[in-house]
Structure 1
C-alpha cells in the first residue's frame, strides 16, 4: 500500500513538472500599445498612465489590447551596484509603481533593452548584465521584454548567443516574461529564434507610415514591403512563436517621428484598414502606436473590430498562406480552430477593380457562407465570390461551410 502511495505521489509530481515545462507564453499573438512611434524617446510616466486610462475608456483593453510596451528611452543608467535604473525625471515614481498602476487596469507592462552596450537611441543596454537586468525587470513585475540589436555584430552566431543568454536569464528570473527578439530579420530569426528562447521575432526593418517604399533606401519599409517578406514565413509561426511584422501605424496620419521618417507621409483609412486585415490574417502581433487618447472614428473602427481581432487571436495559431500572388492580387487563406476559414483579398493596384474567385482555387471544396468582417454581414453563399475591391483595399471574409 505504501509503495502504491509513493508511486501515486511521484506520478503527480511528474505530471505537475510536465505541465510547467509545457506552459506556453504568448499562445496567441501579443496585442497592445507601444510608445515608440508616437513619443520616440520623449516618454514620461504621466503619458503612459494616460494611455492606460484611455485604453480602458476606449474599449481597447476589452478588445484584447492588454499590453503597454515602454520602448527605448526609459533608462537612467546604472546605480553604484550596476543595477539598471529608470530615468528619475521621466519616471519619478519608478517602473514598479507604473507596473502596479497598469496591472490595476488589466494591462501588462513591457519594457525595452538591447543586446549591446547601448540601445538604438544611445541609452544604457544589457550586454554583460543579462542576469542582473532580468532579475531587475522581474522585481519590477515586468511581463514582456523587447530586445533590440543596435550596435551589435552583423553575424548570426553572435545574435543567437546573445539572445539565448538573455532568454535564459529571463527564465531564471522567477517571473514569466515574454521575450520579443528584434534584430529586424536580417539574420533570418525564423530559423533560430524560437530555439534561442524567443516568443516572437521581427521579420523586417522598422515599419514606416506609408503604403510602399518607393526609394532604394534601406530601412524604409512600407506596408507592402513588409507584407511581401512576412507572407513567405507562414510555416514558422504557431502558438508561442510568431513572425512579428512590426507595429500598426493605424491612425498616425503621417505624424512626425520614427514612423514619419524616410517617406512616412501617412496613409488613407482604406490603407490603414488593409494593414489591420493583413497583420491579423498573418497572425502578427497587433501593437498600436497612435494617440489612444485622441482617436477619430475611423481609427476606432479599425482597431476595435472584434471580428477581425478574432482572426488574429484564433487559438489554432496558424499564419495565413498566400495562395494568389501577382502584381495586382494577393489572396490569403488561414484555417481557424472551429473549422471555418479566413480569407483576405488584397487589391495592390492603384485603381479599383472587380475580382472573382472560386473557393476551390484556394483548396476549399464545397459551398460556404461568406461573412464580410468589415461590413459585419453575410455577403454571399456558394462556391465562389465576386465583387469590387477598392485600390489598396483588403477584403476580409470568414467562410463557414454549408
Structure 2
C-alpha cells in the first residue's frame, strides 16, 4: 500500500511539473529587446521610458508584454557571490524595475550566458546557475535569455549547460521562460525542449538588411526565414523556433544592427519580416527606439490580424509548400479551422502571382481576407495578383 501511495505521489508530482512546463510560453513571447538601441548601455531611465512608449503606442495592448534586458546590465557579484546590477545603470535595482513593469501589466526578461563571462565581457552564470536563478526569481524576472559566448563548441556541453540552468529556473520558485541563444550551430531545435528551453535561436544575430549573400556574418531577414522554413516539425506550444529581433523601424540606425552592411530595409521588407515571423511562430520582439518610432513601424508592429496568426492557440508553424527562384508560399492551419497563406516575392521586381490553393493541399473555395488591407478580397480557389519586390501577401482563408 505504501509503495502504491509513493508511486501515486510521484505521478502527481510529474503531472504537476509537466503542467508547469506546458503553461510556459504557450504562445510565442512578444516584446522589445534592448540590444540594438542601448547596446552596452542599458539603463533604468531609458528602459522605463521604453516601457511607457510601448504602452502609449498601443504595442502592449497588441500583445507585446516583455521588456528583454540584454547584455551589459551586470555589476559583478557581491561578497556572497550574488549577481548584482551595475549601480550606475540601475540605481534602484532590477527588482524595482520589474515591479515597475509588473505594475503596468508588463513582464521583464533578463540576460546571462553559459560561461564565466558574457558576449560583452560581463559577469555570467556558469557554476552559479542555482544562485543566479534564485536571484532572478527574487527580482521578479519572467524570462531569461541565455547566451553561449565563451563556451565550448560541442553539442553535449551545450545541452548540459542549458539543462543545468533550466533545472535551476524550475527550482527557483517562479515561472521563468528560458530562451536558448546558441545561434543554431549545435541545432538546438533537436534538443532544446528536452533540456528545458521554451525557445531557441535558429541563426546568428540578425542585421538591418534583407539578405546576406557574402556569408561573413550578420544574417538578413530572408536568411532567417529560409532557415526556419525547414524547422516546422520542431515548433509548437511551449517550444518555438526563434528568428531573433524584428528590425522594422531601425532604418539603418548605427549600432549592432548596422554591422555587416545593415543599412536598412524597405517598407515591404520590414512588413515581410513581421508577416513571415508570424506565420513561422517566431517570438516577436521589436528592437527600434519605440520612443521615436514612425507610423510605418507602429502599423507593422500592431497589426492585430497578423499577430493573431503568431499567437494562434493551435501553435502549428507554417510549412513552405512552394519554393522557386521567385516565390515562397507558406501555409498554416489555425485553431478555428481557417488557414493562413503567405506569398513572398523573393525577386527584385514586381511579379504576377497565380497561386492555386489545390497546389497547397487546400481543396474547395475560400473567402480570402488580406490581412494588411484588412478586407475580404474575394471568394475563390486561387489567388492572382501583383506582389512587389520582397513583399509578402498574407491571407486568412475561410472555407465557403
* Per-residue deviation, 1:18: 2.7
Task: Give the structure 1 partner of residue 162 of structure 2.
Answer: 163
Structure 2 counterpart of 1:303, from 298, 301, 307? 301
Task: Give the structure 1 partner of residue 50 of structure 2.
Answer: 51
Task: Give the structure 2 partner of residue 342 of structure 1.
Answer: 340
* Per-residue deviation, 1:296: 1.0
Structure 2 counterpart of 1:257, from 255, 263, 269? 255
* Distance in 1 between residues matched to 2:12 and 2:190, nearest whole Å: 31
Report the number of matched residues: 395
* Per-residue deviation, 1:380: 1.3
Structure 2 counterpart of 1:328, from 318, 326, 334? 326
* Distance in 2 between residues matched to 1:401 and 1:124, nearest whole Å: 55
* Distance in 1 between residues matched to 2:205 and 2:260, nearest whole Å: 11
* Per-residue deviation, 1:20: 4.9
* Distance in 2 between residues matched to 1:31 and 1:315, nearest whole Å: 15
1:273-284 aligned at under 5 Å gives the runs 273-284=271-282
* Distance in 2 between residues matched to 1:121 and 1:12, nearest whole Å: 45
1:289-346 C-alpha deviation (Å, 9 max, x unpaired): 1111111111111000000000000000011000001111000001000000010000
1:75-224 aligned at under 5 Å gives the runs 75-217=74-216, 219-224=217-222
Alpha-carbon spacing, 1:21–1:106, altered in 2? closer, same or farther (3 Å): same
Structure 2 counterpart of 1:383, from 381, 384, 389? 381
* Distance in 2 between residues matched to 1:59 and 1:17, nearest whole Å: 40
* Distance in 2 between residues matched to 1:246 and 1:39, nearest whole Å: 16
* Distance in 2 between residues matched to 1:73 and 1:17, nearest whole Å: 37
- Residue 21 in structure 1 maps to residue 18 in structure 2: yes
RMSD, aligned α-carbons: 1.7
* Per-residue deviation, 1:220: 1.8
* Per-residue deviation, 1:11: 8.9
* Per-residue deviation, 1:21: 2.7
1:83-104 C-alpha deviation (Å, 9 max, x unpaired): 0000000000000000000001
* Distance in 2 between residues matched to 1:156 and 1:312, nearest whole Å: 30
Report SS of the residue matched to 2:196.
Answer: coil
Alpha-carbon spacing, 1:16–1:189, altered in 2? closer, same or farther (3 Å): closer
Task: Give the structure 1 partner of residue 73 of structure 2.
Answer: 74
Report SS of the residue matched to 2:312.
Answer: coil
- Residue 401 in structure 1 maps to residue 399 in structure 2: yes
* Distance in 1 between residues matched to 2:306 and 2:318, nearest whole Å: 14
* Distance in 1 between residues matched to 2:203 and 2:215, nearest whole Å: 15
* Per-residue deviation, 1:270: 1.0
* Distance in 1 between residues matched to 2:345 and 2:302, nearest whole Å: 23
Runs of 4+ in structure 1 off by over 3 angstroms are 10-17
Report SS of the residue matched to 1:111.
Answer: strand
1:357-395 C-alpha deviation (Å, 9 max, x unpaired): 110000001100000000000011111110000000000
Structure 2 counterpart of 1:245, from 234, 243, 246? 243
Task: Give the structure 2 partner of residue 3 of structure 1.
Answer: none
Report SS of the residue matched to 1:232.
Answer: coil
More displaced 10-residue stretch of structure 1: 335-344 or 220-229: 220-229
* Distance in 2 between residues matched to 1:19 and 1:39, nearest whole Å: 39
Gaps (5+ residues) in structure 2?
none
Gaps (5+ residues) in structure 1?
1-6
TM-score for both structures, normalised by structure 1: 0.96
- Residue 285 in structure 1 maps to residue 273 in structure 2: no
* Distance in 2 between residues matched to 1:197 and 1:55, nearest whole Å: 30
